[in-house]
A and B are shown apart, each in its own frame.
Chain A
C-alpha cells in the first residue's frame, strides 16, 4: 500500500498545491468582494484602497490566524484513525473535495446561484468521507457543530451589530452635537476593533506560527495594538476637513466623515477575519495531503500546519484579488448605495468579531452569511432605509443546494481518482 504513496508522492503534492491554489484564487476573486463590499459601498474606502487593504490583511489573517480552521478541515471532519492501512483514500478524497468545490463554485457562479465556499468544501469532505470511506469515518458530532455554527454565526453577528448600532445611536447620533460626540467616542471604538482582533489572534491563532504567549502578556500586547490604532485613528480624525454646507442638505454628513475613519479599521478587521477563516477552505485539504505524503503513510494526527501552506493560501487569495477580485469589489461596492459609514461600521464589525472568534475556535463559517446577519442586525435597529428580506431565503437555498452538490461531485471525483491510481 505504501508503494502507491511513495510512487506518486510528487504528483499528489503537486496536484494538491495546484487545486488548493485554484480554490484560493477563487476565494480571492469572488469572496473577498463580499467582505469588502460594505466598506466600499459606504464610500469609506475607494476601490483601490479596499484592494490594498484586502491584499495585506487577507494574507495576514491567513498566515497569523488561519491555522485553527485549517486544522478542522484537515482532520476534524474525517476520523483519520478509521483509515487503517489505506491512507491514500484520504488523499483521493481531499483532492476530490478541492476539485469538486472548485468546479462547483465556478459553475454556480456562472449561473448566478447563491453558493458559499465554506459550505461547498465541507459538503464535499463529508460526502467522500461518508460514501467513499464509511459513514462512521465522519465525525458527525463535529459536523453538527459546524452546521450549527452556520446558523448561530449570522445571528451572533446580527446581535453584535444591533447593540453596536444602538450604542452609537445613544452616544453619538442622537446627541446635541453629533460631530463633537463622534470625535470623542470614535477613537474608543477603534481601540475595541484593534484590541479584539489582536487578542483573538494571539490567544488562538499564533500557536500555529509557533508563538505561544501567556494570557497576561497577550492582553498587554493586544491593548498596546488597540492603543496604537487608536492614536492613528485620532490623527486621521483630526485631519478631516469639515464642510458646514454639507450638513444643510443632510444633517449628519460631517458626523459620517468621522465614521469613515472608523470604517477603515473595520475594513481591516473584516479582511483579516475573512483571511483567517476562508483560507482554510483552500489549504485545509492541501495540508491533509501533504502531511500524509510526507509521513509516508503514517497519518500524523499531531503535526501542525506548515507555514508555507498557509502562505500559499494567503498568496492565492491575493493573486485572485489582484487578477479578478478588484472588478468584483467594484461591482459589489456600487451595488450597495444605502449604507452610510455608521451603519457599515456596526454591520461589518459585528461580522468581523464573529468570524475571528469562529476562526479561533476552528469553525469554518460563511463570511457572506455572517455579514448578511450583521446588516440585518442594523436593519432591526431601524437603521437602514430598506432591506430585502429575500436574502434570508437565498441563504437557506445556498445550504440546501450547495451541500448535496459539493458532496455528489466529490464522491464522483473520489472514485475516479481511486480508479486512476490503484
Chain B
C-alpha cells in the first residue's frame, strides 16, 4: 500500500537532458558530412552510400528522441523556461539532422560529382558548418548549469560568450560560401550545367545548416534574456 506521494508526483521529468541528447544525435548526423563529402570527392560512391546509410539511421534516432521529448512535456509545468521555447529549440535542432540527411540522400542518389578544383574548399565549407553545429551543442550542454545557477551570474556570461563565438563561426561559413560560389562560377562552363546547378543548391543547403545552428544559439539567448 505505497501511497502515491504528491511529493514524487510533482517532480516532472526535466526536458533539459532529453533536449541535450537530441542535440547530441543531430550533431552526430552533421558530423558524418565531412567524411561523406570526402568520399564523394574521391568518387568512392560505395563509401558515400555507407555513410549516407549511417546518417539516415541517426536521423531516425533523433526523430525518436524528439517524439519522446514532445510526448513527455506535459502541459502544466513549472519550468525555468517557457515550454514554447523548448519546443522551438527542438524544432531547430531537428532541422540540422533533417537537412544533413537530405543532403547525403540526394547527393548519393544523383551520384554527385565534386570537381577537383573546388573539392578542398567545398570540404572546408562543410567542416565549418559542422563546427557551427558543434558550437551550438556546446552551448546547449550548458543548460543544466544554467538551471543550477537559476539563470543568473557568471554562467550567463559564459553562455553568451559561447553564443557570440557561434555567431563568428557562422559569419565564417558565409565568407567561405561566397568564395566557394565564386570558385564554382569560374569553372562552371567546363562541366555539365545541370550538375553545376545542383552543386549551387548543395552550397545553399550546407549554408543553411550553419544558419540553423546559429538559430539554436539565438533561441538559447532568448532563454538567457528572460
Shortest beta-carbon distance, A149 to chain B, in Å?
18
State whether B155 touches A174 (Cβ < 8 A): yes
Residues of B within 8 A of A109 (CB): 1, 3
Q: Does B205 contact A (CB under 8 A)?
A: no
A33 and chain B: residue at smallest CB distance:
B5
Q: Does A422 contact B (CB under 8 A)?
A: no
State whether B10 touches A391 (Cβ < 8 A): yes
Q: Does B183 contact A (CB under 8 A)?
A: no
For window 1-57 of chain B, which residues contact chain A by CB distance below 8 Å? 1-16
Given A338-B11, A387-B79, A328-B2 contact (CB < 8 Å)? yes
Given A169-B150, A169-B152, A173-B148, A387-B2 contact (CB < 8 Å)? no
Shortest beta-carbon distance, A155 to chain B, in Å?
15
Given A37-B7, A382-B147, A388-B76 contact (CB < 8 Å)? yes
Q: Does B144 contact A (CB under 8 A)?
A: yes
Residues of B within 8 A of A339 (CB): 11
Q: B interface, how many residues as a size bin?
A: 20 to 34
Question: Complex Cα distance A336/B13, Å?
Answer: 9
Q: A interface, how many residues as a size bin?
A: 35 or more
Residues of B within 8 A of A372 (CB): 6-7, 10
Q: Does A335 contact B (CB under 8 A)?
A: yes
Q: Does A34 contact B (CB under 8 A)?
A: yes
State whether B5 touches A327 (Cβ < 8 A): no
A379 and chain B: residue at smallest CB distance:
B78
Q: Does B193 contact A (CB under 8 A)?
A: no
Question: Complex Cα distance A361/B153, Å?
Answer: 40
State whether B4 touches A385 (Cβ < 8 A): no
Shortest beta-carbon distance, B156 to chain A, in Å?
9
The 5 closest A-B pairs by CB, nearest first: A385-B14, A174-B153, A335-B8, A389-B76, A382-B80
Shortest beta-carbon distance, B78 to chain A, in Å?
4
For window 1-55 of chain A, which residues contact chain B by CB distance below 8 Å? 30, 33-34, 37-38, 41
Question: Complex Cα distance A169/B1, Å?
Answer: 39
Given A382-B150, A388-B77, A337-B4 contact (CB < 8 Å)? no
Q: What are 27 A-B pairs with beta-carbon distances under 8 A?
A: A34-B7, A109-B3, A114-B4, A115-B3, A169-B149, A173-B152, A173-B153, A175-B153, A250-B144, A328-B2, A337-B11, A368-B5, A368-B7, A369-B6, A371-B7, A375-B10, A375-B11, A379-B78, A381-B150, A383-B147, A386-B15, A388-B12, A388-B78, A389-B76, A391-B9, A394-B9, A395-B6
Question: Complex Cα distance A176/B158, Å?
Answer: 12
Q: Does B151 contact A (CB under 8 A)?
A: yes
Q: Does B117 contact A (CB under 8 A)?
A: no
Residues of A within 8 A of B5 (CB): 33-34, 37, 328, 331-332, 335, 368
A38: which of B3, B7, B9, B80 is its contact (CB, 8 Å)?
B7
Given A173-B153, A250-B145, A340-B148, A386-B7 contact (CB < 8 Å)? no
Question: Complex Cα distance A234/B162, Å?
Answer: 37
Q: Does B74 contact A (CB under 8 A)?
A: yes
State whether B77 touches A387 (Cβ < 8 A): yes
Q: Does B192 contact A (CB under 8 A)?
A: no
Given A112-B3, A386-B15, A387-B78, A174-B10 contact (CB < 8 Å)? no
Residues of A within 8 A of B80 (CB): 379, 382-385
Question: Complex Cα distance A394/B5, Å?
Answer: 10
Q: Does A380 contact B (CB under 8 A)?
A: yes
State whether B153 touches A37 (Cβ < 8 A): no
**Per-residue interface assignment for chain A, residues 330 to 363, with 1 indicating a CB less than 8 Å from any chain B CB and 0 otherwise:** 0110011111101000000000000000000000
Shortest beta-carbon distance, B224 to chain A, in Å?
11
Residues of B within 8 A of A387 (CB): 10-12, 77-79
Shortest beta-carbon distance, B108 to chain A, in Å?
37
**Per-residue interface assignment for chain B, residues 51 to 66, with 1 indicating a CB less than 8 Å from any chain A CB and 0 otherwise:** 0000000000000000
Residues of B within 8 A of A115 (CB): 3
Q: Does B109 contact A (CB under 8 A)?
A: no
A335 and chain B: residue at smallest CB distance:
B8
State whether B1 touches A388 (Cβ < 8 A): no
For window 68-112 of chain B, which residues contact chain A by CB distance below 8 Å? 74, 76-80
Given A173-B148, A250-B144, A372-B6, output 6 extra A-B contacts at Cβ < 8 Å. A109-B1, A382-B80, A384-B14, A385-B144, A386-B79, A389-B76
B145: which of A30, A38, A251, A391 is its contact (CB, 8 Å)?
A251
Shortest beta-carbon distance, A160 to chain B, in Å?
16
Q: Does A237 contact B (CB under 8 A)?
A: no
Shortest beta-carbon distance, A120 to chain B, in Å?
13
Question: Complex Cα distance A18/B77, Å?
Answer: 43
Shortest beta-carbon distance, A341 to chain B, in Å?
11
Residues of B within 8 A of A252 (CB): 145, 148-149
